Structure 1
C-alpha cells in the first residue's frame, strides 16, 4: 500500500485489488489515516471508520476466496452529507440538523454501491443545504482548493468536500448532487472529472433535496472511465456497458450565447486549445448562437429562479422559526427570495421550462453535443468573498451561470479538466447532452478525454 499514491484512479485501484497486490483493509486504513492527518479538516463532516473497516474486511475475504462482486469491490468512496448512511445524521452541511435522528437506512444509491463492494469512508462537507456554487460553509469550515499555491481559494460547491477529497487524493471517488452545477463546478475548480447525470437516472431515496425539479446525482472522480464504472454500479448494473465513440463522428457545438460572457482570458485560452486538439483528432466543431440560453435568464429575472422557489417551499417553516438564526445568513437571504415568487410565477416558470426544453431539442441535430467552459473563471480567493456579501452573490451567480443552463434544460453533463488559467488554477471543459442522452454523452467523453487533456 505504501507504493500507491492518492492519485490512482478507481480503475487503477481495481487492478491492484482484484490481483491481490493491494488488500481492501490496508487501502481503507490508509485512506482514513490520510484524512485524519490531512492539514485541511474541513473536507469531511464525519469519518465512517468502523463501517469502512467492516466493509473492507468483507471485501478482503471475498477477493481472497475468488468471490469478487466486480470491478469496484474494495474501492473507497465518500458521500456528500446529503446522502443517508445508516446510523449517521444527515446534516446537509447545516448546524440546525446536528441533533436530528440518525438515518435508519442507507440511501438507495449508497446501498447500490455497497452492493457493488465499495467501502464507504466518510461524509463530505458542502455549502449549507447545498444552496451555493462556492462551497463556503460557516458551520463546518470551508475546504481549501488543493490546487492553489498562492492563497486559500474556494473549492466550488455545493459538493465542496467531495471535490477536494478526490483532488487531494484522499479518496478515488466521491458522490455528489447537482441542482445548478454542484458536481461540475467543484470538478472544474479542482481539476477532476465530474458527471451530472440526467435527473432521475438514479434513485433519490434517502437524499436530502434542494429543488426536486432540478436535483440530480453523480460522481466526482479522476477519469471519465471511473465515472462510467460508478454510473453502472449506481444503476445496479454488474458491469459498465458504455463503448467509445469514434472521434471522427463526434459532432460538437460551441454556444456563442451567454457562456463566454466575462470569461477570463486564461479560461478561454485553455478551452480553445482543447477544442483545437479535438478538431485535429477528427471531431467536427461548429459554433452557434442559442437565444434559448438568454431566455432562460430572462425568465428568472421576470418570475424568479426555479431553484429558489422550491428551496423556499422546502425550508419555509425553518425560515419562519428560531432555526433561521442558526443558519448561514447568506443561505437564508437567498432562500427568502422565494417568498416573492407567486404560484402564478411558479407555473409560468414550469410552463416556460417545458417549452424551452422542446425548443432546445429542436435546435440541435441528431448526435450533436454542446461543448463550452464549465465556469468562466478559475477558483477565486476565499477571503474577499467572506468579507463582502455583494461580491459573494455576484461571484456565486457567475459561477453557477454556465452549468445551471443544463439543469434548467434537464440535461446531463461531464466536466473534464482541460488546462490551467490564472495562477495555474484548473480549468474545466463541459460536454453536455440532452435529457436521457447519458450513454451518448459518456461515450463521447470517454473518447475525447485523452485528447482534451493533451495526452493523446
Structure 2
C-alpha cells in the first residue's frame, strides 16, 4: 500500500524528515488515481500541476525551507473550485466547455501557499444539489466501505469523500450547503468538517445557495482538519488547542434527529455517548421545537436552498441546455419558481429569529451531539430507476445536517463504529453555534480520541 491511506500527520513526518520526497508521493498518488478500479472518483486528475508543485516543494524541503506541516501533502478539490487554466464544471456536462478559470479560487490559492499539491478535481452531484451523490454524467463513485453491493457515496462531495476513504488522498476539500461534507464523511467512515459559513474566502467557488454555502475538508482525523482549516484561513499555524473533556457539556437534541433512525445507528451512537461519558463529558438531552418549526417552514414556504438555486440557474434551466442536466436536479431546482419574493423574505427573517432563539437555548460552550445521519449508506440499485425512492432517500440523508446549515452551525462528523451485516460506517456529529469553530475543533480533537479509542 505504500504511503496511500496515511493521514496528513503520518505523511508530514515522512516529508519533513526527508524519508519521503514530495515528487515520489505525488507520483504514487497520481498512479493510484489512474489505476484505481473506480474511475468515477475523479472528473479530472491534474498531473502536470501536481508534479510542478511537488518539484517546488521538494526543493524547499531539501534546502530546509519547509513552510509548514502541509508542505508536499496531496489534496483533491471538489469540481466547484476554480483552478487556473481549467473549466469549473460543477459535475455537469453543460459547463464542460465553459471558459477556463483565469485564477485559482481563494481556498485553492491558500492551500497552494501552504505547500499542498493539487492532484485533481473530484466528482460530485451535479450543481451540488443532492445528498446521495449519484451523477449520471460522470458516473457515481462507489462507497469503498460497501462489501455486499454498490452503495451510495453521499453527496454532494461524493468524489471527495470516496477519494479519502479509498486511500487515494489524505484530504479532499468539499462544500456543504445542506450536509454535503458531513454526509459523505459519515457514509464513508471518515472525518468531515463543515466550517461556519464565511470562515474562508468564497471567491472562485461555484455557488448553490450563497446564504448557506460553506466549505471544509474531508480527511482521516480531526487533527488533519485542524491543520487544513488554519491554512485555508491563511494562517501559518492553528490556534486550536486540544480541549479537555472533563466537565464539557454536550447536548443531545431529541427533536427530529432520531426520527426513523436505524437500530444499528442508534446503538453505535449510544455507544459513542457512553465512551464520552466515561471520559468525563456531561451529557444532557433536550427537545428543540424550532427544529420541527424549520421543517414546517419548508413545507409552507419552500426551502431557502431551492429559492436561491432557482434564481442562480434560472436561465440555464429554461434554455437549450436544460435537457442535458440530470432531470432529478432540474425537478428539484424548478420547485424554487413557486417561492415568491415575500416568501423568500419571510424565510430569511424566520431564519434570523431561529438563530437567535437557538443561541438562548444552550449554555455558552455547549456543543450539540447527534447521529450525523439516521441511516447508513443505502444501496445504489434501488435509487437509479425509481424517482420516488431517490427523492425519499435524498430527503432523509439531508434531514439532520441541513438543520446546521440553516442555523449557521459549524460541525464535525467523526466515525463512531459500524452496523449491520455489511458493517457500514456510522457518524457522530458534533455541532457548534455560529463562529465557535475553534472551540468545536478543540473539543472534537479530544472527543475523537474517546470515540474512536
TM superposition score category, shorter chain reference: over 0.9
Instruction: Give the CA deviation at 1:364.
Output: 0.4
Which residue pairs with 1:424 in the alignment? Answer: 423
SS of the residue corresponding to residue 16 of structure 1 reads: helix
Which residue pairs with 2:264 in the alignment? Answer: 266
Which residue pairs with 1:185 in the alignment? Answer: 183
1:137-148 correspondence to structure 2 within 5 Å:
137-148=135-146
CA distance in 1, matches of 2:81, 2:115: 18
SS of the residue corresponding to residue 149 of structure 2 reads: coil
1:279-294 correspondence to structure 2 within 5 Å:
279-294=277-292
Instruction: Give the CA deviation at 1:421.
Output: 1.6
CA distance in 1, matches of 2:375, 2:385: 20
1:33-182 correspondence to structure 2 within 5 Å:
33-182=31-180
CA distance in 1, matches of 2:255, 2:172: 32
Structure 1 residue 448 and structure 2 residue 432: aligned? no
Which residue pairs with 2:223 in the alignment? Answer: 225
Structure 1 residue 403 and structure 2 residue 401: aligned? yes
CA distance in 1, matches of 2:243, 2:363: 17
CA distance in 2, matches of 1:271, 1:324: 42
Instruction: Give the CA deviation at 1:249.
Output: 2.5
SS of the residue corresponding to residue 149 of structure 1 reads: coil
CA distance in 2, matches of 1:445, 1:122: 29
SS of the residue corresponding to residue 32 of structure 1 reads: helix
CA distance in 1, matches of 2:358, 2:162: 34
Which residue pairs with 1:304 in the alignment? Answer: 302
- What are the ranges of 5 or more consecutive residues in structure 2 without an aligned counterpart? none
After the TM superposition, list the runs of 4 or more consecutive aligned residues in structure 1 that deviate by more than 3 angstroms.
Answer: none
Structure 1 residue 439 and structure 2 residue 438: aligned? yes
Which residue pairs with 1:318 in the alignment? Answer: 316
Which residue pairs with 1:375 in the alignment? Answer: 373
Instruction: Give the CA deviation at 1:3.
Output: 3.8
TM, length-normalised to structure 2 = 0.99
TM, length-normalised to structure 1 = 0.99
1:272-329 residue CA offsets vs partner (Å, 9 max, x unmatched) = 0000000011000000100010011111001000000000000000111111100000
CA distance in 2, matches of 1:54, 1:366: 47
SS of the residue corresponding to residue 428 of structure 2 reads: strand
Instruction: Give the CA deviation at 1:241.
Output: 1.6
Which residue pairs with 1:18 in the alignment? Answer: 16
CA distance in 2, matches of 1:249, 1:72: 33
Instruction: Give the CA deviation at 1:367.
Output: 1.0
SS of the residue corresponding to residue 79 of structure 1 reads: strand
SS of the residue corresponding to residue 248 of structure 1 reads: coil
CA distance in 2, matches of 1:293, 1:421: 27
CA distance in 2, matches of 1:250, 1:378: 28
CA distance in 2, matches of 1:256, 1:160: 29
For the aligned residues, what is the CA RMSD?
Answer: 0.6
Give the total of aligned pairs: 452
SS of the residue corresponding to residue 119 of structure 2 reads: strand
